[in-house]
A and B are shown apart, each in its own frame.
Chain A
């Protein structure tokens, strides 16, 4: 089956620092990767869509300079939370899709970010 690996699973950082989260598709090439944010007891909110080799498309209200997304290869996408603040604390989860629209997503295991 398709496996998506996400690291780290948990990170605690100080305000003002940057945190990088990696998302890798281990056994397939992901043409598209999605980054979601989930607050406790809430739904998965799409932050951005990234296609390999091109700039990410951000959802309205998501600051692209704060949440830097790099999809440098067909198996790796990274999300960097820059100058983190306590309100950035959340569960971040990536997902990857093999083909075009209408294909199932495979999720990473998520990253719980806590900003002190």
Chain B
């Protein structure tokens, strides 16, 4: 089955700096790669996603890149703000959706 690895587990940045979170996946059949933001005790919220036929996607301060050959994808957040502080999960899906271990992002004002 699919195995998703995510790094780093924790990330602390100053407000205004960029944050990068990286994930790798094992199943070459996976074709959909979403990123979720989860605040404590809340449901995960989809922030951006990318499909396997696209290499990069951007939505305002958030971008995702995908390298199918290397089986890795990354989340980039620019101009970080304190409200970006949360746990971020990557996921990979062919039929089932498997999640990475999560990255706790802290943005210091």
The A-contacting residues of B in range 1-56, CB under 8 angstroms, are 31-32, 34, 41-44, 46, 49, 51
Specify which chain A residues have a CB less than 8 angstroms from the CB of B42 in the assembled complex: 109-110
CB pair B96–A49 under 8 Å, yes or no, is yes
CB pair B95–A101 under 8 Å, yes or no, is yes
The CA of A25 and the CA of B31, in the complex, are separated in Å by 24
CB pair A43–B97 under 8 Å, yes or no, is no
* Per-position 1/0 for A77-115, Cβ under 8 A of B: 000000000000001010100001111110111101000
Residue of A nearest to B87 (CB): A41
The A-contacting residues of B in range 89-109, CB under 8 angstroms, are 89, 93-102, 104
- How far does the Cβ of A92 sit from chain B's closest Cβ, in whole Å? 12
Size class of the A contact interface (CB-based, 8 Å)? 20 to 34
**In this assembly, does A67 line the interface, its C-beta being within 8 Å of a C-beta of chain B?**
no
CB pair A44–B32 under 8 Å, yes or no, is no
CB pair A44–B44 under 8 Å, yes or no, is yes
Residue of A nearest to B96 (CB): A49
CB pair B43–A108 under 8 Å, yes or no, is yes
CB pair A46–B49 under 8 Å, yes or no, is no
Residue of A nearest to B45 (CB): A107
CB pair B89–A43 under 8 Å, yes or no, is yes
Specify which chain A residues have a CB less than 8 angstroms from the CB of B93 in the assembled complex: 101-102
**In this assembly, does A42 line the interface, its C-beta being within 8 Å of a C-beta of chain B?**
yes
* A interface with B by C-beta (< 8 Å): 34, 36, 41-46, 49, 91, 93, 95, 100-105, 107-110, 112
22 residue pairs bridging A and B, Cβ less than 8 Å apart: A34-B96, A36-B99, A42-B101, A42-B102, A43-B100, A44-B89, A44-B99, A46-B97, A91-B41, A100-B95, A101-B32, A101-B93, A101-B96, A102-B32, A102-B93, A102-B94, A104-B32, A105-B46, A107-B43, A107-B44, A109-B42, A110-B42
